[in-house]
Structure formats: structure tokens, C-alpha cells
Amino acid sequence: MYFIVELNFRSNKSYLYALIKALIDASDIDLEIGFEKEKIVLISQKDEPKLESFLKQVEETLPASIYLKGSRHFVSEEKPQIKAIAIDDLPLDLSLCPSCQKEMFDVSSRRYYYPFTSCNACGAHHAFLTQHPLSRANSVMKFLVPCEACKKEMQMNPLRKSYPLISCIDCGVALRMVDKKSERYANDKGTYRQLFEVSARAIAKGKSVVMKTLHGYRKFYKPEGKVNPKAILFIADVNALNRHLMLVVQEFNALLSIERPLLRIATKSDEAKSHFGSSVWTKYPDEGMSMLLARELINAGLEYIVYEACEEGEEGDFLVDFDLPITPQKDFRLFINQDTFLLIDGERTIFPKAVQGGKRDRVSIASGLVCADTDMGKIIDRAELFAQIPAKEVYVAQGERSRVKDAVSFSVAEASMLSVLAEHEKLGEGAIGVHFDDRLHFLYYNKKSVIDVVPPRAFEADNLFAHIRELREGSDRLVENFRAKFPDLYARIDHLSGEVDLFRVTAILLELEDESFEGISESALSFLGKGGMQIDTKVTDNRFNDYAFLASLMSYKLSGAQQPILCYSIFESFGDYIADIATQLLGKTKTQTLTLSGRAFANQSLWGRIQRNLALQKPILNKNYPIGRESSVYGAQFL
Ligand SMILES: [Zn+2]
Ligand SMILES: [Zn+2]
């Protein structure tokens, strides 16, 4: 009889698998492990005596993950066959696993308050990488020699077996703290801890601390009054989450997962509302520097603060940094609506990525990422991390510059649709796609190539009111009434010119503080009513008409409608329009598959409407790629 445990893991990244495998290798248990599609499988004899204690050890050592969706176990007469998949074990950029965290706060360890604590299964490996494949020599740690204790650990500690980036306080990286008067260094247990203590106390006193972290420079400070919309809520004390935010269990678990995403969460306490409004991008401490600071913030009596992602050289009362030229990745944002999890955009934890399929010797480029052939197969990562990039043909996303002379320019909308089809193994079947980023595209995939069947109309912010006047009878009067009632706003919009997208114009028209798509999303979230108002999206043909849309908003504004209901109605109307056109196209082309792509879908109001209107059509989206622009670098492999 066999005892089988299946962990439902919806990614082919190796970190959980590798961690369990290391534990198996270090114990003398007779247990087989396999990695199948969306599953990590453990198989042992039912009467294996060490099984119970081993599974307990796994439970204590395994971090939570956004890809881990429960587990099941069962007994079987027959030994199941493992259908192994190709595992992606490219360098990670994660938070810390439970063992490494414990070590960092254990005063007897060699890594007490050492922010670069990490192991084979956790930490920001990618930040240290100078070139693929990852090794000590291919990292910025190449000039640091591991001490005897670390060398021994590389043989003895199953989690750090041959770990290329091993270091500890004795052989690792010193920290430096500078203000206008003094400079201090941290290079032993006492001073590392002191440095974070001093930083936290300074923040408690209202000072700002600019810190170099493994996820980039961050300016930390205590919020006072309404904070900059760019500021991210940084939770030091886990209890603050439920006290100040209104979050569901999926959001709570995701925030604390080893991937540590950025999540937009609704505020609950009056205090949080006064700083952030109705919702705020939130982060639970995600790498060594931030985790140590968080611990000392709690000691200084702060349960949360904020930070802004910034560049080297940012002004602050204090600077904390270290002498290692790391390359942080762009952080990633996650969207959660009940059981829907969408990676919105960003690099960290998603890239580098091993790619299956694609065209040999085709290089594709988008959002600063390159998909190219290497000795390890096709990989997506930043160009500078490849030793060389062999290419017969180069595809570059529209709107991005490339130094390659004969580069083919590709449409992000079309490539994004292909990336969804490729992820769902539906290339070669017909499909309709909706791509919604700054603009809205309706696409048809005829089993060979993608056609933009309803491309967006040209939109120009110049002469906006002239376009609106021409819409239909009475539009003239609408513009005049608007000018009379909102003369300053009229003048501001009338002076817009150049590359201003529809959402920015909309945000300006609605007088939102954050003049962007984000600002409209945030305001829509604060709408507590049931239904919105119908906003005009088209005039004559089926195509979305930006000017009709703006005219409709102008007339609602004239009649005194408030920001939240207008913003909510915008997404509701988009949801209705998208569902309407997509359903028509599916019918006309007799296709079954509907893909959605583009980061505009990461919006609670729009997603709610799409789910309601397109429940039968069961649209598919990217799973392990962002729904944003980054996925087009993958999709362009199939153009
Ligand atoms: Zn670890
Ligand atoms: Zn060491």
C-alpha cells in the first residue's frame, strides 16, 4: 500500500519542490518526490515509520505561496506513475523561508540581524546575479570569500547545500548608516541590530530613512495626514492588517506568502482612511532589510509606516546602504477577486522564466525584458544578464526602442493574446481576444495569426471639445454649459496636448487627485451603492467612441453626479461594452475561446461586471505571466 500526498502548486517554479527534496535528501526516509503539472507529489510506503514526523517537518519548513492551493492525501494499492514536467529553476527573487527568518532573529546564530540571510529555496538571488547561470562567480558576491563555518554549512545544511550566495556576519556584507552629522557601520551582531533600532526610532520621531534594499531603494517614513498616492503601506505588525484594512482571507494569505506581492486593499479604520483614502497598495516586509526594520518598528511602537520606491540619491534624513552593486527587479502587483488571482505587472518572482516552445533563434523584446535562446533553453530576463544573444530575427514591442536595425515591430495587444493561448495550450484553435490596456482592442485569432478586428480609434487630447461638439445635435450646447459651469476645468482640458491618454483626460475631467487609470480605479472602489449609470460608449458603429464617452461623463457631471459613482459607472459600462462586442464576435466567428489580456482587467468593478456578463463564455487569462505588457515578450515568440 502506498501513501500519497499531492500539493496543488500552480506554477512550474522549483522553490517548494526543491525545498522538500532537500529535506528528503537530508533524512533517511524512503520517499519519492515528483513534479507534475500543477502538482507536487510525494509517494511512500503506507507503513513508512518516519512519515508522520517528516510531514510535520515539511509543514514547519514550507513557506506559504500564492501558487499553493491546498493539498490532499490518499492511500493507493498501486504506485502512481509520475508524469514529470519541465521544472523552472532559474534564480529566485523571493522573501525568506521560515527557517531563514528564524535564524535571522536567533541571537545565537551567525546571522542574527543579518539582512542577506537566504538559502537555496529563498531570498533575492536574482538581485546578486551578474550573468546567467547563477554561480558565485556570476554574482556580485564573487569577491567575498565564505568563512570556514559557511563552507562547512555548504556541505552539512540541506537547505544551503552548495548554496552559491552563502554568507554570514563574519564573511558577508557590512551596512552603513549616514546622516548629515555622522556615519555608523554595522559589521557584528550588536551593530547590525543597533542600526535597525536607530533607523526605526528615527522614523518614529518623524524622520525619513532612505534604505537600499534587495528590492530597490525605499524611502521609509511615518505617514502624517493624507499621504502621497505613490506611498505604499508597509505593515510591520501583522495584527495591524485586520485592524486597519478590510481584507478577505485570500488577500491576507497572499500578503504573507513567500512571493510577498503588492496588493491594493480597502481601508477600514478611520486612521487608515485619513492617510490613504478608500484603498491602498500594501506590502508585508518582503526582504531582509525591510524585515529587520519592521521588527524594530514594532519595538519603537509603530505597527505600520509607509515607503516610496525611489532611486539611489533620493533625499532623506538618514541613508542606510551597503557596498554591493545589486540589481533589484521591479516589484510585482497581484490582483485578487475571490478565487481569481492575476499577476498584474512587474518582474520580481515572475521573471526570469524558462519558456517552452517559441521559435528557434527568435529574440523578442518588451518592457525591458528579452526572450532569447541560451544553453539552458529559451529564457526571459533582462538583456544584460545574457552572455550573448544569438538571433536570426528580432521582434520589438511597438513603442519601444531597439538598436537592432532590422527589428520587426509587433503589436502588444496581438502578442498578449498569443501569450494567453500559449499558456493554455490553445494555439492552433480559433479564438476571440480582448486586450485592454491604455486602449481597447478586439482581436480574432484564425488559428494562424491575430487580426485586430475592432482596433481603437485614434484619440487626440488636442481639440477635444471640437471633437465633442461634432458628435451629434445638442453636443454644442453640452460643451457651452460645461464651459459656463466649470470655466477653470474647461480651460485646463482645452489646453491639453500631446500624448495624453483617455484615462488621464477622464481623471482630469472628474477632478481626481491621482490623474490616471489608478485614480479612477481607487475612486470606483469607494462606491458603496448597487448599480451605476449607463455611460455612452458608442455612437454609430460598434466601435468605442472616446469623445461620446467623455461627453456622457460631462453631462453627468453637470447634473451633479459624484466622483465614486461616476468612476464605478465607467468600469461597469466598459464591462457591458466589452461583453457585448466579445459575444457578438464569438457568435460571428463560431469560436469558443475568449482571451482577456491587459492590466486594465485588474480592477474590482470591471472584473465583477465581466464575471457577471461573460460567465458562460469562461474567458481565459494569463496564469503564470502578468496580464500586463510583460507577457507580450512571450507571446511574440508565436507571432
Ligand atoms: Zn531560506
Ligand atoms: Zn560566513
d(CA 95, CA 179): 28
Indicate the pLDDT class of residue 305, thresholds 50, 70 and 90.
very high
Of 18, 16, 41, 17, give the one whose Cα is nearest residue 31: 41
Average pLDDT over residues 457-484: 91
pLDDT score of 105 more than 90: yes
Q: What is the pLDDT of residues 169-181, one digit of tens each?
A: 999 999 999 998 8
- Whole-model pTM? 0.94
- Tell me, in angstroms, the distance from the centre of ligand 1 to residue 459's CA: 50
The answer to whether 63 and 257 have CB atoms below 8 angstroms apart is yes
Query: What is the Å distance from ligand 2's center to 213 Cα?
Result: 20
| pLDDT greater than 80 at residue 540 | no
Specify the residue for cell string 481576444.
433
Compute, in angstroms, the gap from residue 151 CA to the centroid of ligand 2. Answer: 7
Centre of ligand 1 from the C-alpha of residue 296, in Å? 21
Ligand nearest to the CA of 62: 1
Q: How far does the centroid of ligand 2 lie from the alpha carbon of residue 12, in Å?
A: 32
User: Which helix or strand (DSSP H or E) is residue 201 part of?
Assistant: helix 189-204
Name the closest ligand to CA 125. 1
CATH entry 3.40.190.10 includes domain 427-619: no
What distance in angstroms lies between residue 309's CA and the mean position of ligand 1's atoms? 25
Ligand index nearest the alpha carbon of residue 172:
2
Q: How does 453-489 read in b/e, with b if 16+ C-beta sit within 10 Å?
A: ebebeebebeebbebbbebeeebeebbeebeeebeeb
pLDDT higher than threshold 90 for residue 525? no
CA 170 – ligand 2 centroid, Å: 5
Centre of ligand 2 from the C-alpha of residue 130, in Å: 21
The predicted pLDDT at position 530 comes to 81
Residue 294 is predicted with a pLDDT of 98
Evaluate the CA torsion angle 200, 206, 208, 214 in order and state its sign: positive
Q: How far, in Å, CA of 69 to CA of 66, rounded? A: 8
Rounded to the nearest integer, the mean pLDDT of the chain is 94
pLDDT at 46: 92
Please tell me the distance between residue 103's alpha carbon and the centre of ligand 1 in angstroms.
9
How confident is the model at residue 127, as a pLDDT? 98
Report the distance separating Cα 532 and Cα 565, nearest Å.
6
Ligand 2: centre distance to CA 22 (Å): 21
Task: Examine the pLDDT at 542 and tell me if it is beyond 90.
Answer: no
The predicted pLDDT at position 242 comes to 95
Using the mean position of ligand 1's atoms as its centre, give its distance from the Cα of residue 99 in Å: 6
* pLDDT band, very low/low/confident/very high, at 564 (cuts 50, 70, 90): very high
Residue 185 and residue 164: Cα distance in Å, rounded?
26
Per-residue confidence (pLDDT) for residue 539, from 0 to 100 = 63
- Distance from the alpha carbon of residue 523 to the mean position of ligand 2, in angstroms: 50
- Identify the band that residue 391 occupies on the pLDDT scale cut at 50, 70 and 90: confident
Count of residues in the chain: 639
Task: Give Cα 104 distance to the centre of its chain.
Answer: 26
Ligand nearest to the CA of 163: 1
CA of 447 from ligand 2 middle (Å) equals 56
Task: Give the DSSP letter string of 459-502.
Answer: --STTHHHHHHTSSTTHHHHHHHHHHH-HHHHHHHHT--SS--H
Concatenating the DSSP letter of every residue in 327-381 gives: -PPPP-EEEEETTEEEEEE-STTT-SEEE-S--TTEEEEETTEEEEEETTEEEEE
Q: What confidence score (pLDDT) does residue 536 get?
A: 83
Average pLDDT over residues 446-473: 89
Backbone angles phi, psi at 336, to 5 degrees: -125, 130
Per-residue model confidence (pLDDT) at position 621: 98
Per domain, the residue ranges of the chain are 2-76, 98-160, 175-333, 350-426+628-639, 427-619
C-alpha–C-alpha distance, residues 441 and 585, integer Å: 12
Q: Using CB atoms within 10 A of its CB, is residue 424 exposed (0-12), middle (13-18) or buried (19+)? A: middle
CA distances for 333 relative to 262, 526, 620, 628, angstroms: 5, 20, 19, 10
C-alpha triplet 501, 502, 503: angle, nearest 5°: 95
With respect to CATH, is domain 2-76 assigned 3.90.1150.10? no
Ligand 2 centroid–CA 141 distance in Å is 12
**Residue type for 197, please?**
E
Q: C-alpha distances in angstroms, 53 versus 3, 131, 497?
A: 14, 40, 67
Whether 78 and 71 have beta carbons less than 8 Å apart is answered as no
Higher pLDDT, 196 or 399: 196
CA distance 17 to 480: 65
**Cβ distance 227 to 245 under 8 Å?**
no
Q: Region 184-190: what's the mean pLDDT?
A: 91
- Could you tell me the distance, in angstroms and rounded to a whole number, from the CA of residue 387 to the centre of ligand 2? 29
What's the CA-to-centroid distance between 126 and ligand 2, angstroms?
Answer: 20
636 vs 616: CA distance, rounded Å: 29
Closest ligand to C-alpha of residue 160 is: 1
192 CA distance to ligand 1 middle (Å): 20
* Mean pLDDT of the 124-140 span: 97
Ligand 2 center to 555 CA (angstroms): 68
How far, in Å, is the centroid of ligand 2 from the Cα of 171? Answer: 4
Distance 379 CA to ligand 1 centre (A): 25
CATH number of 175-333: 3.90.870.10
If you write DSSP's letter for every residue of 285-334 in order, what string do you get?
--SHHHHHHHHHHHHTT-SEEEEEEE-TT---SEEEEES----PPPP-EE
Local confidence band at 543 (pLDDT 50, 70, 90 cut-offs): confident
pLDDT at 229: 87
Percentage of the residues of the chain whose pLDDT score is greater than 70: 100
Q: Which of 386, 408, 446 is nearest to 129 (CA)?
A: 386
pLDDT of res. 454: 84
Contacts for 92 with CB less than 8 Å, ≥ 6 apart = 13, 15, 121, 122, 123, 124, 125, 126, 349
Q: Which ligand approaches the C-alpha of residue 152 most closely?
A: 2
If you measure from the C-alpha of residue 122 to the centroid of ligand 1, how many angstroms do you get, rounded to a whole number? 4
pLDDT of 478 > 70? The answer is yes
Q: How far is the CA of 112 from the centre of ligand 2 (A)?
A: 12
Q: What is the pLDDT of residues 45-103, one digit of tens each?
A: 999 999 999 999 999 999 999 999 999 999 999 999 999 999 999 999 999 999 999 99
Q: Which ligand is nearest to the CA of 18?
A: 1
CA dihedral 624, 628, 629, 635 (to 10 degrees): 40
